[in-house]
Amino acid sequence: MKSLRYCAGFMNTTGKEIEGRTDHTAAMSSDKRIIVYGGINRDKLGPALPYLAVLFLRSKKLHFDVIF
């Protein structure tokens, strides 16, 4: 996923590419990271990969890092 969909449109991201997903869990940490876990990739009807990813919000560019 090279862009992140939100209510008003899309935002470009940098870093590792992750698959689009639904039915996932996301939480924001106190140091401005969004941790994304799990979910289903509807295109392939299976688990979305990676299982765990972190979106860093500190800079002007949104950056994904893959954990697992």
Mean pLDDT of 28-52: 94
Residue 17, pLDDT > 90, answer no
Residue 3, pLDDT > 70, answer no
Q: Specify the pTM.
A: 0.75
| Calpha distance 68→37 (Å, rounded) | 9
pLDDT in tens, 53-63: 999 887 677 88
Looking at residue 67, its pLDDT comes to: 75
The overall average pLDDT reported for the chain is 83
| Calpha distance 45→35 (Å, rounded) | 22
